[in-house]
Amino acid sequence: MEQLRNQVIDHTNKINRLRRTIKSANQKVARTRRQRGYNWEDTLVKRFNSVEGWKAFRLGSPSVGLPDILAVSTKENTIYTIEAKSGTNTTLHVPYDQILRCLKWIHTFELYKTRKMIIAFKFLSKKRIGKGEYEHRELREYYKIWDESNPVTNFVCTYDGATYSLVDGKRARLQLEDCFMPFHAVK
């Protein structure tokens, strides 16, 4: 009986160690993904701030319901709310609620003549092909202007810059204009 009890305890300990290992690995992946996003936001803010007449700010975590970045030029009478997405996949996803919160902010600042909601995509130079496996590809950045005549939906941007709305699991072509940024961007 004692031997059986010890086997059960040993087995339980092995399961708990495995759970901690899996949880730790998942936390590491999530931390890496978040770090990529923060780095991309930080890069965009630095690019805007390097241009005379522009000021940009990271507004905080997504849980506060704010855009990732607010960029303003009083000289140009322009305000941008920016949602930044980066990753190693062939598509990057934008949830509809992030579009709504950005639009809410540009509508709040009616004093600015030009008010745009921009989605900044960065496809990293490595493409994920499997768990922990990557292949080299060209780094690409796209800056898309949300067209308010479109219904607000989840949407994706592909590595080649095409955009598609996602409604009930179905993709439909979504024409979004490219935005010319006031700083030098990667082509």
pLDDT in tens, 91-145: 999 999 999 999 999 999 999 999 999 999 999 988 878 887 888 999 999 999 9
pLDDT in tens, 56-82: 999 876 667 789 999 999 999 999 999
| Of the candidates 177, 175, 155, the residue with the CA atom closest to the CA atom of residue 166 | 155
pLDDT at 127: 81
Residue 187 has what DSSP assignment? -
Let me know if 85 is exposed, middle or buried by CB neighbors in 10 A (0-12, 13-18, 19+): buried
pLDDT at 25: 53
pLDDT at 135: 87
Identify which has the larger pLDDT, 22 or 101. Answer: 101
Identify which has the larger pLDDT, 30 or 143. Answer: 143
| Of the candidates 161, 89, 93, 86, the residue with the CA atom closest to the CA atom of residue 127 | 89
pLDDT of 163 above 50: yes
pLDDT of 49 above 60: yes
Instruction: Tell me the domains of the chain and their CATH numbers.
Output: 40-178 (3.40.1350.10)
Which residue has 């004093």 as its token pair? 111
Q: Give the mean model confidence (pLDDT) for residues 154-178.
A: 95
Give the start-end residues of each E strand in 44-160.
55-58, 69-73, 78-87, 91-94, 114-123, 126-130, 133-136, 140-145, 154-158
* pLDDT band at 33; cut points 50, 70, 90: very low
